[in-house]
Amino acid sequence: MNIGVLALQGAYDAHQKKIESLGVNCILVKTEAALAKVDALILPGGESTTMTYLLQKHQLWQPLIKRMQEIPVLATCAGVILLQKMGVLDIDVIRNGYGRQLESGIFPLSVKFDTTEEEVEAFFIRAPIINAVNDKEIDIMSYHLDKPVLIRKNKILAATFHPELCQSSPIHKYFIDLIRH
């Protein structure tokens, strides 16, 4: 199994290390050819405006939308903004929604996995706020300050925080299980 990490800009390196530490092969995705080789994809955090610009510049915007209809996706932080902009998830987001005071906060979250509820350490870095979830098929797995911060629609998982910075790997492990089942 190959998990791809979109590697045009942002925190792709930390995701790669996480995936490899869990014994799964990782491919850094910068081209359409690489996109075709992966069985699942991670959209990392970074700057959604820069990523949008680079995806369009490299003619990857449409191919990425198409591929994300076929394979599991984990989007983190700016990646969640991309999912909204690409029409992959019907949600409303506010960029940098928590304002400056939450630029680098670490907060414990209570996360509902399928059969368990676990505490997860979440790093929020100029995170977007998910202000509305407009699709009944989207499950909300965790809230922070009354807003959804981890959501899932089938095999699309979206976190407004940075699970790749956490010492343990609950979100990545859950994603790998999603891919396998």
Contact region with ligand GLN (CB under 6 A), list: 41-49, 63-71, 135-143, 168-176 = 41-49
Token pair of 26 as six digits: 């990782």
User: Which stretches does DSSP call E strand in 73-155?
Assistant: 73-76, 91-94, 105-112, 117-124, 129-133, 139-144, 147-153
Provide, rounded to whole angstroms, the least separation between the CB of residue 24 and ligand GLN: 23
Question: How far is it, in rounded angstroms, from Cα 24 to Cα 8?
Answer: 21
Question: How far is it, in rounded angstroms, from Cα 62 to Cα 55?
Answer: 9
Nearest to 179 by CA among 81, 51, 39: 39
Known binding-site residues equal 46-48, 95, 125-126
Active-site annotation holds for 77 = yes
What residues from 107 to 166 belong to the interface with ligand GLN (CB under 6 A)?
125-126
Q: Closest CB to ligand GLN among 27 and 158? A: 158
- Which one from 26, 162, 166, 172 is the annotated catalytic residue? 162
The size of the interface with ligand GLN (CB under 6 A), counted in residues, is 11
Tell which one of 32, 39, 47, 90 touches ligand GLN (CB under 6 A): 47
Known binding-site residues for L-glutamine equal 46-48, 95, 125-126
Q: Which residues contact 120 (CB under 8 A, 6 or more apart)?
A: 108, 109, 110, 111, 142, 163, 166, 170, 171
Site map 50..89 versus ligand GLN, x via CB under 6 A? ---------------------------xx--x--------
Q: Closest CB to ligand GLN among 138 and 158? A: 158
Query: b/e string for 88-99 if b means 16 or more Cβ within 10 A?
Result: bbebebeeeebe
Q: Which residues are catalytic?
A: 77, 162, 164
Which residues make up the interface to ligand GLN (CB under 6 A)?
Answer: 45-48, 77-78, 81, 95-96, 125-126
